Amino acid sequence: MSDPRKDLARARVVVVKIGSKTLAGSDRIYETLAQDLKVARDRGVRVVIVSSGAIALGVKKLGYRGRPKEMARLQAAAAAGQSLLMRAYEEAFSAHGLVVAQVLLSHADLADRTRGNNARAALSALLDQGAIPILNENDSVAVDEIKFGDNDQLSSMVTPLVDATALLLLSDVDGLLDAKGRRVRAVKDIATEAVPLVQSSKSDVGTGGMGSKVEAARRATLAGAHVVIADARVPGIVGRVLAGEDVGTVFVPPERRLSAKKHWIAFTLRPRGDLVLDAGCVTAVRDRGKSVLTIGILGVRGAFNPGDSVRLLDAAGTELGRGLARLGTPDCARLAHRDEESTVAVHRDEMVIW
C-alpha cells in the first residue's frame, strides 16, 4: 500500500468541509481559508467547499437567543443567514483573486439521477472556469436536512459527484483522538480503529460531531477518496495536508471502491422499504454475490415501486445491504417464497452489501 500522505499530495480535486462551530469561533477564519485555498489553486488543485454557517449567522441576525428548535424558525434563520455567509466568503476570497459561486442543494437534488447529473455538470463547469463552488444544504426549504442531516454527510456525497480524491473535514480538533487524548495519525479500518473511539458531541451552534465525521469518512473512502480530519485553526492547514505533512487524521480508502452508482445506492438514496431474506438467500447474496430472487424473500415491508431503494435484511432484522427494487411492493409480496414465477427482485449490479 502506498503512503497515504503522498497520495494526498497528488490530489487534484479536493472537497473541503468546514462547520458552523469553526466558522463561529473566529472572524479570521474566512481570510485564513482564502489564503490556504489560494495556494492550492496556484498549484492546480480544483477545490469545492461545503460550508455550514448560514443558520448560525441567521440566528444572530434575527435576534434569536440560541439555535431554535422549531422547524420554521430554523428555516427562517437559514434564509436570513445565507446571504451573510456568502458575503463573508466573497469579501475574503475576492481579496486573493478567487471567484466563489453559491450552490444550494437538497437531498432530493442528489437522490434523483437526472438532477444529480445536472448538479455534477454545473459544478464541473464552475471548476473548469477556475471558480470555487461553495455548497450548502438548502436549509430554508429542506425540512429533513435540518432535522436529520448535516454537511459532513453532504460532503461525502459531493466527493464522488465531483470525482474528488481527497476530502478535508475541517473542525476545531487536531483530528480523531484516542482514549488518552492523543491524535490518531492514520486509520485503515474505520470499523475497528475509529468507531470505538467516537464519543457523542453536541454543540449549540452546529450539528455534526466526531461520529458524523467518522461516518462521512467511511462513505467517502468507499468512493476511493482519502479523508483527513484536521484543525481549521492551524495556519496553512489545507496546504500542509495537501503537501503530505503529518497533520490531522488520515482515513485510507479500501482497495476495492464502490462505483459512483453503487455509492449513490448505498448512501444517497433513502430506502422506501425492506426485503426480509431467508438463510439460503442471505448466503447467496452475501457470500456468492448473487441477485435477490423472489423465492428467497420471507417478508416485505413498506411501500415501494420499481427503481426505489430497499434495505436487505436477514430473518433477525440485521441489515445486509441495500439495492434497487426491480419489482414494487405488491409483486414482491405476491411472489415472496414461491417457487413458481420466481424472478429477480434486486439485481446484483444494483446492490451494495456491507
Task: Give residue-wise pLDDT tens across range 5-51.
Answer: 989 999 999 999 998 888 987 878 999 999 999 999 999 999 999 99
What cell numbers appear for 293 in the block? Answer: 430472487
Claim to verify: residue 179 and residue 288 sit in the same structural domain: no
* Rounded (10°) CA dihedral 263, 267, 269, 270: 160
pTM above 0.95, yes or no: no
Claim to verify: residue 326 and residue 179 sit in the same structural domain: no
Domain count for the chain: 2
Claim to verify: residue 195 and residue 162 sit in the same structural domain: yes
Task: Give residue-wise pLDDT tens across range 234-292.
Answer: 989 999 999 999 999 999 999 989 998 999 999 999 999 999 999 999 999 999 999 99
Q: How far apart are CA 198 and CA 173, in angstroms?
A: 13
Claim to verify: residue 255 and residue 277 sit in the same structural domain: no
Residue 129 included in any domain: yes
Which strands form 273-277's sheet, in the order they lie side by side? Answer: 292-293, 344-353, 319-325, 309-313, 273-277, 297-302
State the residue range of the domain holding 74: 4-261
Claim to verify: residue 96 and residue 197 sit in the same structural domain: yes
Q: Beta-carbon neighbour count of residue 121 at 10 Å?
A: 10
Last residue of a domain, one of 261, 292, 309: 261
Residue 20: the pLDDT is: 87
Claim to verify: residue 256 and residue 276 sit in the same structural domain: no
Claim to verify: residue 251 and residue 341 sit in the same structural domain: no
Task: Give residue-wise pLDDT tens across range 310-332.
Answer: 999 999 999 999 999 999 999 99
